[in-house]
Amino acid sequence: MSLILDTFPYRTSRLTLDDVARATRLPRSTAHRIIEQMVRVRWLDRTNSGYSLGPRALRVGSNDDTNALRSAAAPLLHALMLRTGMTVHLATLDNGQVWFLDKMGGHSATSVPSRVGATAPAHATALGKAMLAWLMPEEVDRRVAGAMARSTASTITDINLLHKQLGAVRARNGIAFERGECFDDIACTAVAVRTPLNSTIGAISLTGKSDVQLDRVAPLVLGIARQVTAAIFPQP
């Protein structure tokens, strides 16, 4: 395990089985057997392009990553809040839950029953859908299938319908929507913050009353998410 984990130079690295076998000098079959065991216990994640560090590995030093995300996002979230007058959230994905890292808002914030440090079911939130959309389908199943509890009358509890919605998120360049699925009378639009290698490190949302016109503000969230990515991962 140590040999394999050491082959990932960055927290956002993607490696194939052949990459790992070559770097560790382990027989390919041995590397594959150990990697699959590490995937099952969440030290690694399986992706479209190979393997990446999983939630358990990423928790090592996760405070540094969280602080970097919050620091890069804070001024942009504040500007977004002032421009729209809506409540802004910053969150990460923890297995099948979204974990709220930050919340900003004026008078509107008190009407949104969320708080920093709390969690919410990923399948019932725009934040969760924005991040789940970029995982492999089987990884989505592992995280949420069988645990799709109903929060409101509008909550999606069918995994096939969720997959259909995640496909729509990808088709909209990552923009996710949700109306009354997590909290009654609350609507939300969210976009994931993604690395240059397309892994997800968090998501940003705008939240308001259920009658808010999300289509009008969604492009603003998309722009902010891209700015946060550029701030954390500056490109030459």
Q: What is the pLDDT of residues 153-175, one digit of tens each?
A: 999 999 999 999 999 999 999 99
Global confidence as pTM: 0.72
- The pair of structure tokens assigned to 233 is 């991962």
**Residue for token pair 């099948």:** 96
87 HSE (CA, 13 A, CB side): 22
Instruction: DSSP for 68-134, please give it.
Output: HHHHHHHHHHHHHHHHH-SEEEEEEEETTEEEEEEEE-SGGGGGS---TT-EEEGGGSHHHHHHHTT
Q: What is the pLDDT of residues 12-57, one digit of tens each?
A: 678 999 999 999 999 999 999 999 999 988 889 887 778 988 877 7
Helix (H) or strand (E) holding 137: helix 137-144
Q: What's the pLDDT at 64?
A: 57
Report whether pLDDT(117) > 80: no
Report whether pLDDT(236) > 80: no
